[in-house]
Structure 1
Amino acid sequence: MITRLAISGYRSLRDVTLALGRLNIVTGANGSGKSSLYRALRLLSDVAQGRVIASLAAEGGLSSTLWAGPEKFSREMKTGRHPVQGTRRGGPISLQLGFSSEDYGYAIDLGLPPPSTSRFALDPVIKVEAVWTGELLGRANVIAERHGAHSRLRESKSGTWRDCAEHLSHFDSVMTHRADPLDGWELLLLRERMRQWRFYDNLRTDREAPARRPQVGTLTPILAGDGSDIGAALQTIIEIGDRDALADAVADAFDGASLDVNDRFEVEMSQHGLLRPLNVAELSEGTLRYILLIAALLSPRPPELMILNEPEASLHPDLIAPLARLVTKAAERCQIILVSHSSQLVAALDRHPDGWLVQLEKQLGETIVMDRTAPPWKWPSR
């Protein structure tokens, strides 16, 4: 389980360090930084996929994602006695992302490239990376590090450092190019964990949604991010997952209704009083979205971390309480970070013993975490 998340220099997240628990509820007003926090987690996951540079480019490049305010706020700026203005920079321009758990931690520092005439001169550069054991980076617990093109690994038995002969390109991470079963098995383990993080923020339910189309079904223990394999995912839960939990979740939300999957892997819902089941094309957007959430949260192969972005979107208020019960049940099997606008959903989850509320607020353009003491964190130096 991730216990600490750190983000520096990304959009409105000038300097944020969070302590995380089993069930984390991120909330705040529009523009408070919820989406930035979600995107930062996406970028961390993209490091393990080898596409963090491409993801930053898709967001408009490093320059458009960097914190746009001053490096630091003086007391006079915060009180309004002096206008907010740039100050003499004390450190390099950088975007830093990191996390740690009880066993391993990882951090990456991305910066601007040196001046060049290349058409790719605006591509961000990986300046520094570090992998360590435990929650907090220290001099004695680093097991892999990278500075510029140079990287090295610590031998697990002897504790001595081994320099890697092959230099890394500025866009290649140690997580993808130094992880192997022999010399970099800790990196390999951590990389595979990060690759298994699951994100759900694009569960389409419109009339042209992939979930409404006939499918070719194969065993599907993990619902796709767009919900395109919903029929196969539900059938997989029925056959090798918690069939009773699925039936209970549907009946809880839809007053005794039940789901079935036909031979074309189309979802069908039977409801009391109807003479035939409704097929997936007939279901409302809210009903289909809730069924997609059921398939995601009752996965027979739960990840270590699942991130849900505004799962309450398009749901009727009567479905919020069942959704809260579904999320808390899923949190028994995996760590969850849920971003939400719904005060009803936030309140229901915050009352849970494992609920951990992260309230965000914007001050002078900067995202602030309210009523939480930031845990200790140390970034690797360039």
Structure 2
Amino acid sequence: MITTLAVENYRSLRRLIVPLDRLNVITGANGTGKSSLYRALRLLAASARGGAVAALAQEGGLPSVLWAGERDAGPVGLRLGFAGDEFGYAVDFGLPQSSGSRPGGGQSMFRLDPEIKRECTWAGPVLRPAALLCDRAGPAVRSRTADGGWHRTQGLRPYDSMLSEIADPQLAPDLLRLRELIRSWRFYDHVRTDADAPARAARIGTRTPVLASDGADLAAALQTIRETGDDEALDEAVADAFPGSRVRVVDGTGGRFEIQLTQRGLKRPLGPAELSDGTLRYLLWAAALLTPRPPGLLVLNEPETSLHPELLAPLAHLVLAAAKDSQVVVVTHARPLADALAREAPRHRVDLNSVELLKESGRTTVAGREGLLDEPLWYWPKR
């Protein structure tokens, strides 16, 4: 489990060190940095897939995402990291050393790509020299091998992460384990529920233990829960939100699956095209949160969107059920959802961490924090 999340110089997150628990609820007014914190987590996940540099380039390059206020003296960089009781990881993105030239002369078209200046993994919650497992400085990497020695690698390209390039069961077993952990993280953000949403279309179904990010395989995911997951929990979740109702999956022509919702008082079930946006979104959350294959970390961005206020309590029950098997981060504008989670967490025996973000002079801070002594201990690797 991640116990500390650290971000420096990303948009309004000038320096943010946040403690995390089993269930984490991130709240705050519009513009306080909640979306930036969510995107920072996604960038960390992209590092394990070798896609962080591309993701930053899509945001306009490093100059577009860097903290725009006054900076301390020293090299300019964006830093991301996390730590838990077992492992820690940090990455430092900086500006290209050259002006964007390419071998053989001429201007490179990739001059907006940031470079990875430093990367480290370590054992335990705090970076210390004795705890280092893998250490990357520019193109050079040294990694702790399975027999306790050190393996050195040269020539790592500035846009490649050591997580995607160096992980090896013999030469860097801890790096491999950490990479697979990060790759298990799962993100859901504003899944479509409009009339043309993928979740409303009948699709060929195969076993689907993990709902796709666009919800296109909703019917297959629900049927997978029926056959290999917690069938009773699915029925309870639907009845909790829509008393007297039940969702089922029908197999149409050509193996195409489609959801149907039977409701009290109606003589026929409702098909996906007839469901309201809120009803469909709730079923999407049920499929995501009752997954038979729980991730190490599950991050939900504004799950309350399109939901009727009466559905927030049932959604909270789903989130709390998921938190028994996964670490969960919920970024929300809805105070009633945050309150429902806080109220129900003790009954579900789930440790809840509430983080309220504020913005002061353009900089995101955590409410109730007096100074450095109120945040987790954290050290960045130095260039």
Distance of 1:154 and 1:27 partners within structure 2? 39
- In structure 1, what is the equivalent of residue 262 of structure 2? 270
1:156 CA displacement:
4.1
1:286 matched to 2:298? The reply is no
- In structure 1, what is the equivalent of residue 331 of structure 2? 339
Percent identity between matched residues is 54
The CA deviation string for residues 170-212 of structure 1, in whole angstroms up to 9 with x for no partner, is: 1111101110111111111111111110000031100010001
1:211 partner SS: helix
Distance of 2:46 and 2:217 partners within structure 1? 23
The CA deviation string for residues 68-125 of structure 1, in whole angstroms up to 9 with x for no partner, is: 0111xxxxxxxxxxxxxxxxx4221000000011100000000000133322222100
- In structure 1, what is the equivalent of residue 222 of structure 2? 234
- In structure 2, what is the equivalent of residue 5 of structure 1? 5
Distance of 2:290 and 2:59 partners within structure 1? 32
Whether the aligned pair in 2 keeps the contact of 1:45 and 1:194 (CA below 8 Å) is yes
Runs (5+) with no aligned partner, structure 1: 72-88
Distance of 1:273 and 1:334 partners within structure 2? 37
1:232 CA displacement:
0.3
1:330 CA displacement:
1.1
Distance of 2:198 and 2:279 partners within structure 1? 15
- In structure 1, what is the equivalent of residue 241 of structure 2? 253
1:167 CA displacement:
1.1
1:8 CA displacement:
0.3
1:350 CA displacement:
2.1
Whether the aligned pair in 1 keeps the contact of 2:3 and 2:20 (CA below 8 Å) is yes
Whether the aligned pair in 1 keeps the contact of 2:90 and 2:380 (CA below 8 Å) is yes
Distance of 2:240 and 2:354 partners within structure 1? 25
Runs (5+) with no aligned partner, structure 2: 102-107
1:278 partner SS: coil
1:273 partner SS: coil
- Match of residue 104, structure 1, among 77, 87, 102: 87
The CA deviation string for residues 211-230 of structure 1, in whole angstroms up to 9 with x for no partner, is: 01111101000000110100
1:114 matched to 2:83? The reply is no
1:195 matched to 2:215? The reply is no
Whether the aligned pair in 2 keeps the contact of 1:154 and 1:161 (CA below 8 Å) is yes
- In structure 2, what is the equivalent of residue 76 of structure 1? none
1:151 partner SS: strand
Distance of 1:107 and 1:311 partners within structure 2? 28
Whether the aligned pair in 1 keeps the contact of 2:126 and 2:378 (CA below 8 Å) is yes
RMSD, matched Cα: 1.0
Whether the aligned pair in 2 keeps the contact of 1:131 and 1:145 (CA below 8 Å) is yes
Q: Which amino acid aligns with 1:154?
A: R
1:47 CA displacement:
0.3
1:270 CA displacement:
0.2
1:140 partner SS: helix
Distance of 2:319 and 2:160 partners within structure 1? 36
- TM-score between both structures, scaled by the size of structure 2: 0.93
Show the 5 A alignment for 1:203-242: 203-242=191-230
1:128 matched to 2:118? The reply is yes
1:157 CA displacement:
3.0
- In structure 2, what is the equivalent of residue 80 of structure 1? none
The CA deviation string for residues 261-304 of structure 1, in whole angstroms up to 9 with x for no partner, is: 01031110000111110001100000000000000000000001
- Match of residue 141, structure 2, among 122, 131, 151: 151
- In structure 1, what is the equivalent of residue 293 of structure 2? 301
Q: Which amino acid aligns with 1:215?
A: R
The answer to which of 348-357 and 204-213 deviates more is 348-357
- In structure 2, what is the equivalent of residue 163 of structure 1? 152
- In structure 2, what is the equivalent of residue 56 of structure 1? 56
1:317 matched to 2:305? The reply is no
Whether the aligned pair in 2 keeps the contact of 1:202 and 1:225 (CA below 8 Å) is no
Whether the aligned pair in 1 keeps the contact of 2:83 and 2:89 (CA below 8 Å) is yes
1:145 partner SS: strand
The CA deviation string for residues 244-263 of structure 1, in whole angstroms up to 9 with x for no partner, is: 00000000100120000010
Q: How many residues in Structure 1 have an aligned counterpart in Structure 2?
A: 363
Distance of 2:190 and 2:159 partners within structure 1? 27
The answer to which of 316-325 and 115-124 deviates more is 115-124
Whether the aligned pair in 1 keeps the contact of 2:190 and 2:303 (CA below 8 Å) is no
Distance of 2:145 and 2:177 partners within structure 1? 16
Whether the aligned pair in 1 keeps the contact of 2:145 and 2:170 (CA below 8 Å) is no
Distance of 2:17 and 2:167 partners within structure 1? 27
